[in-house]
Amino acid sequence: MKPSNPGVAQDDAAAQYLTFTLGDEVFAMDIRTVREIIQVGPMTTVPLMPGFVRGVINLRGAVVPVIDLHARFGRSPAKLSKKTCIVIFDSTRVTDGSSERVELGLMVDAVSEVIEIAAAQIEPPPNFGTTVKRDFIRGMGKVANRFVILLEPDRAFDMGEMAELCEAAQIAA
């Protein structure tokens, strides 16, 4: 496959990422999966859901589950502030060999900016030292003098795994 820009090697191709914060950590996800960013508003809690499912919202007539990233990553639930927002993104659910697009909301402390990170500036996830499960991390983006944790949404927000956790919560109740 030819690089889109003949003057730039394929390994140096940059991708755009939406950055956001959880506590003092900076995370990012591929901007192509992000649909929109909304303010936190009224949510309907759903009984017998795992602690990381904060509730559901009505987004133009669609029911969208909201995942509290603090809780999903094994921390205590997020505290709401003026900067707390919900990042709506597309996830893929695979059932019986077919896949469908599903919208999910991610509750984050604050959205920062959209940045470009070249593929050469992305290191593999560390084997230790992160507060997030290694499978959830695509890589560590080197930006200026800091690292940005690049999420792997297909693993971190795997609909099948989250459904199993919901079923386990119902059985335990």
Q: What DSSP string runs through 45-71?
A: --TT--TTEEEEEEETTEEEEEEEHHH
**pTM exceeds 0.85, yes or no:** no
First to last CA, the chain: 53
DSSP symbol at 169: H
Tell me: the pLDDT tens digits for 23-54?
Answer: 999 999 999 999 999 999 999 998 878 888 99
Is the separation of the CB atoms in 110 and 85 below 8 Å? yes
Query: In the chain, what are the domains?
Result: 15-172 (2.40.50.180)
Reading the block at residue 9, the tokens are 């090697």
Torsion of CA 72, 73, 77, 80, to 10 degrees: -90
Tell me: the pLDDT tens digits for 7-25?
Answer: 333 446 789 999 999 999 9
